[in-house]
Structure 1
Amino acid sequence: MSAQDDWQREVFRELGGAVETAGTAGTAGTAEAAAGPVPQPQPVQPHSVQPQPVHQQPPQPPRLPPPTPVSVPVVAPELAEARGRARHGDSIPQRAGRAMRRLLLSSTAQDTAVATHTAQVIQQPITTGRQIAVTSIRGGAGKSTVAALLSLTYAHYRSDPVLTVEADPALGPLPLRLGAAEVRWSCADLARIIDPSMQITDITGYLVRLSSGGWLLPGSQGAVGAQLDVDIYRIVMTSLRRYFGTTIVDCETLPAELARTALTTTQARVLVTPATVEGLAATRSVLDWVGGVHRSLLPTTVVALTHTSPDMAVDERRAAEHLGVGGARVVSLPYDRHLAAGGQIQSALLGQATREAAAQLAAEAMDRAVSRGRR
């Protein structure tokens, strides 16, 4: 093949014409001879074919995992010695009197039947994870204490995994109440890591394992002014629901945005209020607001009436009538010396009435969470 033929091929290639293959070179030469001289192509002007600029995307840097936070102790080491001796919730005369009543009265069978029924309600089977929000109208009502009691009760009675989420990150006492020695990963950290392909063994590596058998996800490391974004909360709660049978959420106090979100997105809610006239009045206003948000929220709401001192003398029957609007249930949590002292909650040191009230509260909340899931 002549040098002229090679030049023609290059021209046709630049103009977008078909390029002949080496296998048809002989046939093409015969056709050219039969047709006569090949007409010469017109000279190509340099500006007629302009090379198109190629826009290359800059290489994306590899996605690096978030840095591992440093563990922070829940209680500073210098304060460890300041802890006093844990007290039993019932005094010695109360425990002695209860033992005598069990010997002299025939109410043991009835008490056993009530306890058995309560345990059955707590242990009822569930098909999907149930999430229960705990909030209050103001600080100091015992919100984190109630959340911890629910967590301990569910971990004791249920065989499926129990998770407690701290959605009140600003110096909340929940990790201390549950006996956590230190905290590391927070809700915001887990939201950046969690992936649908993770197994529960992967997830629990970022949680605090509790001696009660459950797990804790802290809201922060106790920093002053720490906040938890609503979007982060939604990501965490939606992603973790398929891993844990029961999730307790210790929310901010109302009317914070995160608390309002938790009230409307969980299957049941516990509203904690002090056993005072002021607390009852404010809680009734909140219940009226909850009923106005959606009529299905009140039947799945339980009010925990907490006695934070032994001198509270609210009529519990009248309080239940006033707060039991729209199907809400009221459960009274009695004063307990062990709870009032603060620190880690030890189930063995709780008063008998406190243990029974905590079990009743857990049963009421679980029953409402499961009943809502059936609707």
Structure 2
Amino acid sequence: MAQGGDWQRDVLRELGQPDGPARPAEPPPLLVHPAPAPADPRPGLAGAASGQHPDPPARPPGPAPDPQPQPAVRTPRDPRVPMPTPESVPTVDPRLAHALGRPQHGDSMARRTGRSVRKLTASAAQEVAEQTGVARELQQPVTTGRVIAVTSIRGGVGKSTVSALLGRTFNHYRHDPVLTLEADAALGTLPVRMGAESVRWSCADLAQILTPAMQLTDVTGYLVPVADGGWLLPASQGRVGAPMDVRTYRAVTLALRRYFAVTVVDCESLPGDVARTAMDTAHARVVVAPTTAEGVNGTRLVLDWLAQLPHSALTSTVVALTASSPDLILDAKAAAAHLRETGVTVVPLPYDRHLAGGGPIRTDMLGEATRDATVRLAAEAMQRAVRVR
């Protein structure tokens, strides 16, 4: 979301409510100065044709008009000139990395012990059948790369965490290349959550490098390999800078779909321009909603807005209802029922001590309920992505 923005007012504006602020004016077109006109034989114009410019007409009294700003023009890069290699930047300051404690397991020792006892009495055949069915849904073949966009109504609700969980889940179950792409503003947390120690190339860099003649092995040389498989493309080198623009996002995602069966996109928060574009062009959408009254209410507004689009996106949208605290004030079942009234599928993600601690996500440290919910969320998103032709 743009700094200082108000997503509620922007959504109301999209819904046609009077409370929304006025849409900012479009930038003026690029002014192109025409070539000098040939000499005109008519009286009064010969001097202009010969280089003797007549006096300009007098300006009517009043304040001088504000000068019109010129839009920035991107100079195309010469493909013959090699792209300078950016320096590798650590995702976490080494001095701070030493302060990280030992990660906690998502489930307590008592809960893990009780689960082990229950597994001894449970039906092994039923468990294997359930896991096989989920794996079949996640491993559905695709003819073209599928893009799954993850967004939210505001930051800090677990959007990057959900993106990392989905990327790792697809990496685990699928045997074809999977990419997790960060399309958030600078200083995003996706590389840290994916376990990347450092980043080098960004989306803006690849937008100038990618060509149709490149092979998968050429492309992966610019990506960050993920420890448990798959690839990561960050949005920046971890420095404060301009956020990704729509042109860069379109160029990168359209080019990379040739190489990756599934691309999970960690978008900026709604109603940012990149988030709108990602939601409009993705094959499936995951909206992350916090289990709070204001979070569920705002997400419901977004879902109602999606339903009013010319091509409703609700049929390919899944809501991930996240819990950031073990002590929730809002009833999670009532919150899920409120969101399901729009027709979307809601997958609750329970509170997990390992995720709440921050830092790199280790799938072996996740709680059982979190793993089950993540796999179900990935399967729901994949089903919707495959349905789109």
Query: 2-side partners of 1:119 and 1:243: how far apart?
Result: 22
Q: Residue 199 of structure 1 is aligned with which of 215, 223, 238?
A: 215
Tell me, yes or no, if structure 1 residue 70 matches structure 2 residue 51. Answer: no
CA distance in 1, matches of 2:319, 2:96: 35
Within the candidate set 95, 103, 124, 2:140 is matched to 124
**Could you tell me how far apart the structure 2 residues matched to 1:62 and 1:330 are?**
46
Q: Name the aligned partner's letter for residue 216 of structure 1.
A: L
Residue type matched to 1:114 in 2?
Answer: E
Gaps of 5+ in 2: 1-77
2:131 corresponding residue in structure 1: 115
Cα deviation per residue 1:15-66 (whole Å; 9 max; x = unaligned)?
Answer: xxxxxxxxxxxxxxxxxxxxxxxxxxxxxxxxxxxxxxxxxxxxxx883022
Is the 2:321–2:336 contact (alpha carbons within 8 Å) kept by the matching residues of 1? no
Contact 1:220 1:226 in 2 (8 A): no
Tell whether 2:160 aligns with 1:160.
no
Q: Is the 8 A contact 1:191 1:232 kept in 2?
A: yes
More displaced stretch, 216-225 vs 241-250:
216-225
Q: Which residue identity lines up with residue 337 of structure 2 in the other structure?
A: E
Which among 356, 359, 364 is matched to residue 375 of structure 2?
A: 359
Aligned equivalents of 1:118, 1:318: Cα separation in 2: 27
The equivalences for 1:217-232 within 5 A come to 217-232=233-248
CA apart distance, 1:116:
2.1
Moved more, 167-176 or 233-242: 167-176
1:223-280 CA distance string (max 9 Å, x none): 1243101101100000010100000000000111110010000000100010111111
Matched, 1:314 2:318: no
| Superposition deviation, residue 320 in structure 1 | 2.7
Whether the aligned pair in 2 keeps the contact of 1:150 and 1:248 (CA below 8 Å) is yes
Measure the CA separation in 2 of the matches of 1:230 and 1:85. 39
1:244 match = 260
Residue of structure 2 in register with 1:324 after alignment: 340
Regions of 4+ moved over 4 Å: none
Amino acid at match of 2:366: L
Q: What is the aligned partner in structure 1 of residue 62 from structure 2?
A: none
Distance 2:185 2:131 in 1: 35
2:189 is equivalent to residue 173 of structure 1: yes
Show the counterpart of 1:344: 360
1:85 to 86, 98, 102: 102
Residue equivalent to 2:166: 150
Q: Which structure has the highest helix share of the two?
A: 1
Query: What is the CA–CA distance in structure 2 between the aligned matches of 1:284 and 1:151, rounded to whole Å?
Result: 26
Paired with 1:79 and 1:71, the residues of 2 have a C-alpha distance of: 18
Give deviations 1:103-162, integer Å, cap 9, x for gaps.
24x354433332221111111111110000000101111000000000000000000100
Q: TM-score, normalised by structure 2?
A: 0.78
Match of 1:293 among 309, 314, 319: 309
1:318, distance to aligned residue in structure 2 (A): 2.7
Partner letter of residue 74 of structure 1? Answer: T
SS at match of 1:305: strand
How many pairs align?
312
Work out which of the residue numbers 96, 110, 127 in structure 1 matches 2:113. 96
- SS of equivalent to 1:83: coil
Per-residue Cα deviation, 1:274-307 (whole angstroms, up to 9, x for no partner): 0111111100000011111244410100000001
Q: State the shift of 1:366 in Å.
A: 0.3
Distance 1:113 1:320, change over 3 A: farther
Cα separation, 1, equivalents of 2:130 and 2:291? 25
Mapped contact 1:299–1:326 kept (Cα < 8 A)? no
How far, CA to CA, are the matches of 1:262 and 1:370 in structure 2?
A: 17
CA distance in 1, matches of 2:243, 2:258: 25
Contact 2:89–2:198 under 8 Å retained in 1: yes
Q: Percent identity?
A: 60
* Map 1:42-61 → 2, pairs under 5 A: none
CA contact (8 A) 2:152 2:289 kept: yes
* RMSD of equivalent CA atoms: 1.4
Q: 1:188 to 1:319 in 2, by over 3 A?
A: same
Correspondence for 1:9: none
